[in-house]
Amino acid sequence: MKAVRVHELAGPQNLVLDTIPVPAIADDEVLVRVRAAAMNHRDIFITQGLYPQIRLPVTLGSDGAGEVAAIGSRVSGVAEGDRVVIDPMLGWGDDPRVWDAQAANILGMPHDGTFAQYVAVPAANVYPKPHALSMEDAAAIPLAGLTAYRATFTRGGLKPDETILITGIGGGVQTFVLLFAKHVGARAIVTSSSDAKLERAKALGADVALNYAATPEWHKALRADGPIDLVVDSTGGETLGKALEAVRPGGRIAVYGRTTGDATLKLFSLFWKHVTILGTSMGSPWDFRAMLELFEQGLRPVVDRVYPMADAATAAQRLADAEQFGKIVLRIE
Ligand SMILES: NC(=O)c1ccc[n+]([C@@H]2O[C@H](COP(=O)([O-])OP(=O)(O)OC[C@H]3O[C@@H](n4cnc5c(N)ncnc54)[C@H](OP(=O)(O)O)[C@@H]3O)[C@@H](O)[C@H]2O)c1
């Protein structure tokens, strides 16, 4: 089968289209014929050697949708031909509050991932594809949608009458946060380095849009605009410090990434304002099921561009250069 692989840690341009054997499946696994896959920043970090415990060579890809091609001998409830979307969170465990740190890992390194014609995954990780969505739209959802759902609702506790601040709306996860926030009727403020992305966000329902590059003191401008109940951030660094200044007394900040590095926070603001900072990563099987339900109710993911799998390196470079708005999808022929 064809697969997009990493052989050396030399950046996204060095993704290689290989021919490798179709994976064997264990008794509790299914083999999925992947029709579409999607990229995440994780894939870029792996090509750059910026991820712990990298195993090479490896087939990248956490997100995928396709048809079940074979089932293991102990699998029930899934049949060959089922059209499915894959939950990339492997080994979450039994506790909805936190994953099992020993067992948990993410599809697409160390396990071979979805940028291939076939992928082997536990049967428990495949779910019926939302009916109204194409394979390409369904493939855009899993990792980013799951992370966004847990950050926004399970951890962030967003309510319809609240205001949410979403920093860096160009991010794949953040676009889902905006979709979900508007779906429940919350007021949404977004920031971006790009005016074009801010316009796209407004078209998706963002109520306030601010360019953080043109307005470095955006946190002060936003504080004057009204109370912010919840911030969702994956930037870290200075942005997190500014988010702490922007959020209302008693507000919450959900953090799932540190794209620009670690943060130094004004602890006085934290304790004097009684702010809650919530760490969150990926999501549980319960989060995944609840998140998919939103797409049964008519939501559609924002897809930036669709590339043939042979152009994976070009697609990955677009993500590395932060040119995208929404998800970058690979068509797996
Ligand atoms: N813990 C988890 O489970 C989990 C899951 C998914 C992702 N992540 C992490 O979350 C981060 C985002 O992932 P992704 O796949 O969504 O990435 P992505 O699609 O590549 O998004 C990156 C975006 O970050 C924004 N950004 C960069 N510098 C910024 C700054 N100084 N202030 C505000 N925004 C800034 C940019 O937004 P603009 O273009 O709008 O400026 C950029 O488009 C990564 O660090 C990733 O590793 C963690």
73-97 per-position pLDDT tens digit: 999 999 999 999 999 999 999 999 9
**Mutate-to-test residue for ligand 1 from 194, 198, 259, 328, highest number of ligand atoms within 8 A of CB:** 259
The residue nearest atom 34 of ligand 1, judged by CA position, is 168
DSSP string computed for 173-240:
HHHHHHHHHHHTT-EEEEEES-HHHHHHHHHTT-SEEEETTT-TTHHHHHHTT----EEEES--HHHH
- pLDDT confidence tier of residue 242, bands split at 50, 70 and 90: very high
Residue 176, pLDDT > 90, answer yes
Quick one: average pLDDT of 46-66?
96
Distance 168 CA to ligand 1 centre (A): 7
Q: Where in the chain is the domain with CATH 3.40.50.720?
A: 157-279
Quick one: average pLDDT of 117-129?
98
The reported pLDDT for the residue numbered 265 is 97
Residue 3, pLDDT > 90, answer yes
The residue nearest atom 25 of ligand 1, judged by CA position, is 168
The reported pLDDT for the residue numbered 311 is 98
CA distance 23 to 25: 6
Residues with CB under 6 Å of ligand 1 are: 40-42, 143-144, 147, 167-173, 191-194, 197, 212, 234-235, 239, 256-257, 259-260, 281-282, 319, 322
Q: How far out from the chain centre does Cα 105 lie? A: 15
CATH of 157-279, one of 2.40.30.10, 3.20.20.140, 3.40.50.720, 3.20.20.80: 3.40.50.720
CA distance 281 to 286: 14
The reported pLDDT for the residue numbered 97 is 98
In Å, how far are 33, 112, 292, 296 from 23, measured between CA atoms? 11, 9, 27, 31
The reported pLDDT for the residue numbered 24 is 98
Residue 303, pLDDT > 90, answer yes
Q: In what helix (H) or strand (E) does residue 245 lie, and over which residues does it extend?
A: helix 237-246
* DSSP H helix total and E strand total for the chain: 10, 18
Distance 302 CA to ligand 1 centre (A): 15
Quick one: average pLDDT of 178-206?
98
Task: Give 211's strand partners.
Answer: 192
- pLDDT confidence tier of residue 223, bands split at 50, 70 and 90: confident
Task: Give 232's strand partners.
Answer: 166, 254
Quick one: average pLDDT of 177-195?
98
The reported pLDDT for the residue numbered 111 is 96
Residue 225, pLDDT > 90, answer no
Average pLDDT, the chain: 97
Residue 224, pLDDT > 90, answer no
Q: In what helix (H) or strand (E) does residue 62 lie, and over which residues does it extend?
A: none
**Mutate-to-test residue for ligand 1 from 107, 165, 234, highest number of ligand atoms within 8 A of CB:** 234
Q: What is the pTM of this model?
A: 0.97
Q: Into which CATH architecture does domain 2-142+299-331 fall?
A: Alpha-Beta Complex (3.90)
Residue 22, pLDDT > 90, answer yes
Residue 129, pLDDT > 90, answer yes
Q: Where in the chain is the domain with CATH 3.90.180.10?
A: 2-142+299-331
Closest ligand 1 atom number to CA of residue 256: 1
Q: What percent of the chain has pLDDT over 90?
A: 98
Quick one: average pLDDT of 306-325?
96
